[in-house]
Structure 1
């Protein structure tokens, strides 16, 4: 009798290193590619633009792709805000930027009202652009990020899990379970993939 550990050491395509911002090409709500170059062309000098959408709709991913594109022709600073206490450090970084640089800030609302005012004032004084992510409009909107089951299905197809492990019904259920939050749905699929791989690894073939 031969024991075979099915799936042992299998790569989980939903691991953070594969789904973190910047790893997946930005897609629109229906799963079609977004023209990052077209968005970059709309970023005004010395202006403010926002990527707007609900939690898990791809704002951070789109911002990462946009920042990478803008960095081809300009100095770009990227910052992810976690709490209002990040404001002093963020202001210091913006104050050191050269004129016409671009500050890409993920998590605009977390700065708090006073923090947002301070960042805009310092950026204006430096002649820097601001491109931010937000859950609701807070100025000129560069793009609105939305999700559909088709978007999640396309992302999953790009990640390439074995259909025998994660199927279409699993993807649809994960989308519904997390009310369209693609980030949480992908984390859910990570857990499901692990459960099924562990289950198959416990099987015995003769």
Structure 2
């Protein structure tokens, strides 16, 4: 988790102490603390919660978005890691658009057929958690309205790669909209691509 915290900082996906990472292991969720920069984060700073939100271990206050993480884990048994960041292009999408249609094959395969922007809710609330779960659906990414990006995966590496790909896709789509006449992958083909990734391409 510390390694990937440094990676999302190096990518420019977060500034200061914003963003959070969690990993689920059985009935326990390990989550980054609130207000601690990733470059000074230590192993003992990582908080441990139960799936119902009880604190199992914490030297620091758990991330303010812990409810969102827990609700995603409850809704998605296949998810074992979550990365929440505030990348520039993904945040622009969250402000200006309702979704990104299937426009590039790698995004369709790894992230989902159509990437949704959630309805707005205040950060750190159960309302935000519920809106995130609803808009995420079966995808591996959701744009939080006027807020940022959440990506999920079977592993922390998959969730991190999903963040990279979501930001790249957001940038591509924004640039394409400037030119106009955007070509969209047929939805029946998008479903085939997504299923191919889930069933055979994804590395276990």
Output the TM-score relative to the length of structure 2. Answer: 0.24
Output the TM-score relative to the length of structure 1. Answer: 0.24
| Greater C-alpha Rg | 1
RCO comparison, higher one (Cα < 8 Å, 6+): 1
Larger strand share, 1 or 2: 2
